[in-house]
Amino acid sequence: SDQKFMYDLLVIGGGSGGLAAAKEAVNLGAKVAVLDFVTPSPRGTTWGLGGTCVNVGCIPKKLMHQAALLGEAIHESAAYGWQVPDPKTIKNDWQALTTAVQNHIKSVNWVTRVELRTKKIEYFNALGYFKDQHTICGKMKNGEEKLFTAKNILIAVGGRPRYPDIPGALEYGISSDDIFSLEKAPGKTLVIGAGYIGLECAGFLNSLGYDATVMVRSIVLRGFDQQMANTIAQEMERRGVHFIYQAKPSKIEKQTDGRLLVNWVDKERQTHQDIFDTVLFAIGRKPLTEELKPENIGLQLVPETAKIEAIDEQTNIPNVYAVGDVLHKKPELTPVAIHAGRLLARRLFGNSTEQMDYVNVATTVFSPLEYGCVGLSEEAAIAIHGEDKIEIYHAYYKPTEFFIPQKDVSNCYIKVVAFRNGDQRVLGMHFIGPNAGEVIQGFAAAIKCNLTFPKLKDTVGIHPTVAEEFTRISVTKRSGLDPKPQS
Ligand code: FAD
Ligand code: NA7
């Protein structure tokens, strides 16, 4: 280890990317410290070590989604012979749910703490900022400051939910930082923003029995295949989620009864209002880069986003690196942060030259009926390669398990985007239906191995599954033939 510095690697941010890099670095013999600090949300919510995914992201989100799926299953089970009490009398207990979710999170926080100790990664509950390019000042909870020096510094500070600049937003609104530990049941909820976080929250709240409304400024799920995105919204609407399109909130006021009066403006500039118990903002996330005092070392941020444009995770300051949600134009996903952090540590301390591949990363929207995808959307493929070069295959399908409870199959839909000629390489796969993430993950590996459409068709399905529908797909959009199941 370099005698000039206290550490070989100092990581700012103990979330998905930072912890993965720290663990890999110590495994390779480096001396490592991690600073992690959670600034309370505007309504005062705070949490432990591990970052967004564990505390206020993927994990609590998936657990609440699971609670929603179980509620659905209770209703279906009668059709399968289960003698359940009248489903209308079955209710979810919000306190019991949040307690179970929070207990799981606390156990993960604890395991993370223990793992850092056994691996001899030094952990400090301190908010870090740059003094110079090798020195970080860490501010502890009690206000005390401590200096840390390191040969290499990794920025893995992630981001936090944004709030709009309208009266009442900060005072009365909440975000995904608060919902998973909310003491009181949310009641009638307005979710503002139609990205994946907004749709997921509105989806599980509706399924848990709360009146949920999504306010959409422009389109649903920007960046995703728009036909798939609209199908997801249609399915949510069918299940009772309300959508207000082309609307922007303008004011939130608290009434004497404690409920929230929300004003919004439509595209004709007409003002509307309604009363909600909870207003949840899911309008995107802002990176926590300004707080690092980047000006102290001349660290460049992208002006429009305040994110970091790194080349192979290296910033414009050679010994300062960045991974995860702070990276400009990279997918904001936990496995992306982890993979990039791990590979970076191997390059820094393990003589590796392997670079992170950010292309064709699969993802899933855990809406009530899930949407999983990998690769290009229909519109992106056409924009990049031209309509003549692209073939779109699509199909509606009927999951076997939907028949007995007579579940609606109208939005179970899949799509394959491929080159029309040559090897007919598959460029994108899109799946709406049960267990979408489980379905898409394996196909993501196939795409990484240059899956072609003939190879997909030559794959023997597993019957009866929903994933096998991809091996049966044959109708092209171009043909105009009916993509509905013919049986
Ligand atoms: P984070 O995990 O955010 O960690 C950064 C840490 O650094 C935090 O603990 C922060 O408090 C701390 N910190 C910040 N500034 C400082 C400082 N100056 N000093 C010290 N510490 C600091 N991804 C998926 O892959 N799948 C999902 O299903 C999914 N669902 C999500 C659902 C929600 C509601 C949200 C909000 C996110 C979800 N994500 C999901 C995204 C995922 O959580 C992030 O991509 C991931 O956590 C990013 O990791 P990171 O290491 O960049 O940052
Ligand atoms: P996203 O995916 O950035 O989506 C934000 C949504 O909020 C999107 O529908 C926006 O509409 C909408 N939005 C943004 N600003 C406003 C304001 N001021 N008022 C109303 N609606 C607004 O964010 P998420 O929170 O879902 O996800 C966070 C990140 O995780 C995201 O960047 C993903 O890459 C991963 P728009 O389409 O801009 O009109």
Which residue, 308, 317, 303, 311, is CA-closest to 288? 308
Atom 22, ligand 2: which residue's CA is nearest? 283
- pLDDT tens digits, one per residue of 281-301: 999 999 999 999 999 999 999
Q: How far is the CA of 219 from the centre of ligand 2 (A)?
A: 10
User: What is the Cα–Cα distance from 448 to 52, expressed in whole angstroms?
Assistant: 28
Q: Is the pLDDT of residue 1 over 60?
A: no
State yes or no: is 463 an active-site residue: yes
The pTM (predicted TM-score) of the whole model is 0.97
pLDDT at residue 87, as a whole number: 81
Give the residue carrying structure tokens 């289960």. Answer: 82
| Mean pLDDT for the stretch of residues 147-158 | 98
Q: What is the residue with the minimal CA distance to atom 43 of ligand 1? A: 53
With a Cβ cut-off of 6 Å, ligand 1 is lined by: 12-18, 35-38, 51-53, 56-58, 61, 127-128, 156-158, 176, 197, 288, 291-292, 324-325, 332-335, 337
- Measure 394 CA to ligand 1 centroid, in angstroms: 35
Atom nearest to 282 CA in ligand 2: 25
Ligand nearest to the CA of residue 198, numbered in listed order: 2
- Choose among 302, 32, 280: nearest CA to 172: 280
Residues 6 or more apart whose Cβ sits within 8 Å of residue 134: 5, 149, 150, 151, 153, 319
ipTM of the complex: 0.97
Q: Assign residue 341 a region: left if phi > 0, alpha if psi is -120 to 50, beta otherwise?
A: alpha
User: Coil, strand, or helix at residue 438?
Assistant: helix
- Ligand 1: centre distance to CA 154 (Å): 15
- Which residues lie with the beta carbon below 6 Å from any ligand 2 atom? 164, 192-198, 217-219, 222, 248, 282-285, 332
Express each pLDDT in 209-236 by its tens digit. Answer: 999 999 999 999 999 999 999 999 999 9
Mean pLDDT calculated for residue range 182-211: 98
Ligand whose nearest atom lies closest to the CA of 336: 1
